[in-house]
């Protein structure tokens, strides 16, 4: 039987170093999990005012600091990690998550369904949600609002995923209430 851990914490906005330290501590505590899922945009925090503010925290995949940290921690603790982060590529910004496997492989997913103000600073994802073979099973990825759209789940179900995971920031109105990771199907 595979175990799944959910790393819940409130990221410090605009402080990647502090958030990376929290991710490192939580990965150490959750090392018994086969799959450890972190919240949406947990490396940066969520409430960006504009694209200029986002630009200072967005990073490339697979060479950015979060990609490197994810690869290191997955190998060190022999677990599969999912970490939400702001991605930059080709002048665009995406609300993305990295999946890192213990063997050093990385996968990236870009949120398809943007919420409210997100569409003013992020581009929507350019590929359907992936199903990735990992030591924890076949894992399907979504981010936050993606789970509301049946085609996203249907896309993941077709290749017979074992687990579907959504990394989320929970909001009420314009106030962020907390960061959660939600199991959607096992």
- Taking alpha carbons only, the member of 46, 48, 44, 53 closest to residue 20 is 44
Active-site residue numbers?
40, 111, 144
Residue 185 confidence (pLDDT) above 50: no
Q: What pLDDT band is residue 147 in, cutting at 50, 70 and 90?
A: confident
Residue 161 confidence (pLDDT) above 80: no
Q: Between the CA of residue 169 and those of 73, 83, 88, 177, what are the distances in Å?
A: 23, 13, 20, 8
Q: What pLDDT band is residue 138 in, cutting at 50, 70 and 90?
A: confident
Considering 50-54, 134-138, 143-147, the range whose residues carry the highest mean pLDDT is 50-54
Q: Quick one: pLDDT at residue 181? A: 46
Domain range summary for the chain, segments of one domain joined by + = 4-185
Task: For residue 15, give every residue at least 6 positions away whose Cβ sits within 8 Å of its Cβ, in sequence order, or none.
Answer: 45
Residue 176 confidence (pLDDT) above 50: no
Task: Residue count of the chain, please give it.
Answer: 186
CATH number of the structural domain 4-185: 3.60.110.10
Q: What is the CA radius of gyration of the chain?
A: 15
Strands (E), 10-145: 35-37, 80-89, 92-100, 106-110, 131-134, 137-143
What's the mean pLDDT when you consider all of the chain? 86
pLDDT in tens, 94-135: 999 999 999 999 999 999 999 888 999 999 999 988 889 999
Q: What pLDDT band is residue 154 in, cutting at 50, 70 and 90?
A: confident
* Calpha distance 60→118 (Å, rounded): 19
Q: How far is CA 134 from the centre of its chain?
A: 16
- pTM given for the model: 0.87
For the chain, give the percent of residues with pLDDT over 70. 84
Q: Quick one: pLDDT at residue 166? A: 56
């Amino acid at each position: 039987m595979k175990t799944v851990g959910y790393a819940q914490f409130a990221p410090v906005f605009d402080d990647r170093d502090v958030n990376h330290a929290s991710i490192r501590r939580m990965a150490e505590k959750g090392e018994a999990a086969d799959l450890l899922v972190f919240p949406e945009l947990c490396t940066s925090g969520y409430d960006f005012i504009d694209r200029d503010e986002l630009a200072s925290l967005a990073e490339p995949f697979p060479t950015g600091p979060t990609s490197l940290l994810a690869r290191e921690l997955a190998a060190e603790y022999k677990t599969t990690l999912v970490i939400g982060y702001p991605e930059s590529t080709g002048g665009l910004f995406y609300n993305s998550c990295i999946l890192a496997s213990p063997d050093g492989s990385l996968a990236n997913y870009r949120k398809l369904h943007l919420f409210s103000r997100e569409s003013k600073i992020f581009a929507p994802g350019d590929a359907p949600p992936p199903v990735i073979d990992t030591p924890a099973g076949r894992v399907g990825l979504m981010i936050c609002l993606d789970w509301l759209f049946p085609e996203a789940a249907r896309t993941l179900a077709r290749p017979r995923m074992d687990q579907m995971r959504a990394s989320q920031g929970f909001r009420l109105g314009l106030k962020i209430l907390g960061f959660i990771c939600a199991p959607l199907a096992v």
